[in-house]
Structure 1
């Protein structure tokens, strides 16, 4: 991986309009960097859950499941990307699925840059100073959301209003997909239970 590939995400978060334009139209975005960023985001959330100081970490250690965290973050990332692509394809969006994935991942860089230091910092903060932990984490999330908005604007060549509408529709689309998946899971579970009951009844009749 080239040095330019690693420094470009830093350029994007500081100069988002130029950065996302270069990402899409100058081919400066790389899928291997997307994979690295997503992996670092997963690590940031897992480390925060497991190693953040007790003053700011209220998660029961017995409920921690890193595999579940990995699955949830990957699912959310791909669900957002696919849902946004599906919605914007219908409303004249210019972004390809690859572009959407890159813009989404590059928008998450502030989380990587801030969550790791705040996790370490949380172990030495006092009760009064813990407000800085929440403040910095909030800044990371807000920064990432703002970058995502700019990224979607640039990738699809939308105005602000249309970008916000399509992002809202993307969330609705994702909710519909989740609902259908839960419905199919429930239906599949009922079919399995029905088949198991028939099998049990046939066994007892012999």
Structure 2
């Protein structure tokens, strides 16, 4: 992986239209996929470290109940749901993006949340209550920046118009909510089955 390939994610977040076009038609998909996993890992690391080491003025996590694995899940599950939902919908809407291209586009759009939030993990330990507004400003700015990059990326990878991209994103969010509901329902049913089987087993053992 050469230096130009490593710098391309930075190029994408500053020049999203040209950057995403290069990703789709000119860049090596294998290299882009490796970079995507790297960005996703860095976002997970940022999320975990932020929950553990952010300043007490802005950190609302209780250390007693902090679970690093769950912090990783909070990043992985939304990304996976988004990619699956978007791919499923755009396949029906004549979108040109493949699943791997949607995943790469999504991960590249998350880079501002790493570049901005990671330094603020440490800066937040040295700010006053009045200065905490800067912390929230930059966190919100990172989310907005990532959202705009995701919008441009989805529009480019599927070759949609802006209005169709907006509709696709709204439908994708609804599909994600439906997927989350089915997932929770599935785990709830599994839990009830386990309890039921456990109860029957205990009855058999006691009567035996």
Residue from 177, 186, 195 that aligns with 1:184 = 186
1:130 counterpart residue number: 132
Structure 2 gaps of 5+ residues are: none
Deviation readout 1:66-94 (Å, 9 max, x if unpaired): 11111221111111111110011011110
Tell me the secondary structure at the aligned position of residue 126 of structure 2. Answer: coil
Q: How much is the aligned-residue C-alpha RMSD, in angstroms?
A: 1.3
1:44 counterpart residue number: 46
Matches within 5 A, 1:54-73: 54-73=56-75
Given that 1:34 and 1:102 are in contact with CA atoms closer than 8 Å, whether structure 2 keeps it comes out as yes
2:7 counterpart residue number: 7
The whole-number CA distance in structure 1 between the counterparts of 2:205 and 2:128 is 65
Residue from 156, 159, 163 that aligns with 1:157 = 159
The whole-number CA distance in structure 2 between the counterparts of 1:203 and 1:64 is 38
Does 1:78 find its partner at 2:80? yes
Tell me the secondary structure at the aligned position of residue 119 of structure 1. Answer: helix
2:206 counterpart residue number: 204
Question: TM-score scaled to structure 2, two decimals?
Answer: 0.94
Given that 1:82 and 1:97 are in contact with CA atoms closer than 8 Å, whether structure 2 keeps it comes out as yes
Q: How many residues were matched structurally?
A: 206
Tell me the secondary structure at the aligned position of residue 123 of structure 1. Answer: helix
1:119 counterpart residue number: 121
The whole-number CA distance in structure 1 between the counterparts of 2:53 and 2:162 is 39
Given that 1:22 and 1:28 are in contact with CA atoms closer than 8 Å, whether structure 2 keeps it comes out as no
Deviation readout 1:140-179 (Å, 9 max, x if unpaired): 1100000000000000011111111111111111111111
Does 1:24 find its partner at 2:24? yes
